[in-house]
Amino acid sequence: MRKPIIAGNWKMNNTIAEGTKLIKDLAALVADVTEVDIVVCPTATALEAVANACGNTKLHLGAQNVHWEQNGAFTGEISTAMLKELCVEYVIIGHSERREYFAETDETVNKRTKAAIAAGLIPIVCCGETLEIREAGTTNAFVGGQIKAGLADLTADQVANIVIAYEPIWAIGTGKTATSDQANEVCAFIRQTVAEKFGKDAANKVRIQYGGSVKPSTIADLMSKSDVDGALVGGASLKAEDFSNIVKF
């Protein structure tokens, strides 16, 4: 019912030369895949070259951030129009690294998300708890709060078309994948939160990814779960073979 979506977050990795080589290798490996939306999210400097390399392949282009204003004195930021100009379709918003190192808040996540949707970009809105929050047993309350604040003021139709990435911070880049049951439990809770706020139809349509040390060996189990519709992949998206094997779960 919901088309799986696997996105690779390259973070601050890959020069233009490295990125275009990766796309060439990846495109060949996933040429036969039709039933999964595949998204690659390079750094801003490589977007244009990667857009060209994606050309007529199955790969969709995503950015790692976007600002909510259309232009102006916002040094280092990028507008929706600038991304659209480069054929970007998706944009990661509120990744935990942006929240931790660059003062991203639920409020700025909400502003970026609204701007992305208004411009016709599909936001991949990230949420997820720290180890302390999980150990305190307050994961649902925390993640539910991030979802409600991050998606504030959106309509049901808008929410139906976005992507949410549940990424427990303790599993990102640590090699510790959440078990498929842990991932599904929170993804199901996010869907329930969406249902309460935006209605059942939006909840049934919104795609929810799991992210956190996803590897070729863990993806099949994760994707077998009822509320996991895909993955946001960091480290393993930097190798064409690994990422293609994740895409072909």
Which residues are identified as catalytic?
95, 167
Q: Pick the closer one to ligand PEP by CB: 94 or 212.
A: 212
Q: Please list, in sequence order, all residues whose beta carbon lies within 8 angstroms of the beta carbon of residue 63, skipping any fewer than 6 positions away.
A: 41, 44, 47, 78, 83, 88, 90, 91, 92
Count of alpha carbons within 13 Å of 82, Cβ hemisphere only? 16
Q: Pick the closer one to ligand PEP by CB: 66 or 202.
A: 66
Single-letter amino acid code for the residue at 47 = L
> Which residues of the chain form contacts with ligand PEP (CB under 6 A)?
9, 167, 172-173, 211-214, 232-236
How far, in whole angstroms, is CA 139 from its chain's centroid? 19
234 known ligand binder: yes
How far, in whole angstroms, is CA 11 from its chain's centroid? 12
- Pull the structure tokens for residue 3: 């088309």
Q: Pick the closer one to ligand PEP by CB: 121 or 171.
A: 171
For residue 237, the 8-state DSSP code is G
User: Shortest distance, CB of residue 128 to ligand PEP, whole angstroms?
Assistant: 9
96 known ligand binder: no
What is the rounded distance in angstroms from the CA atom of residue 139 to the CA atom of residue 134?
5
Residue nearest to ligand PEP (CB): 234
Burial class (CB in 10 A: 0-12, 13-18, 19+), 231: buried
User: Shortest distance, CB of residue 94 to ligand PEP, whole angstroms?
Assistant: 11
Q: Pick the closer one to ligand PEP by CB: 9 or 80.
A: 9
User: Shortest distance, CB of residue 192 to ligand PEP, whole angstroms?
Assistant: 23
150 known ligand binder: no
Q: Taking the CB of residue 138, how many other CB atoms lie within 10 A of it?
A: 14
User: Shortest distance, CB of residue 30 to ligand PEP, whole angstroms?
Assistant: 18
- Residues annotated within a binding site: 9-11, 173, 213, 234-235
- Residues annotated within a binding site for substrate: 9-11, 173, 213, 234-235
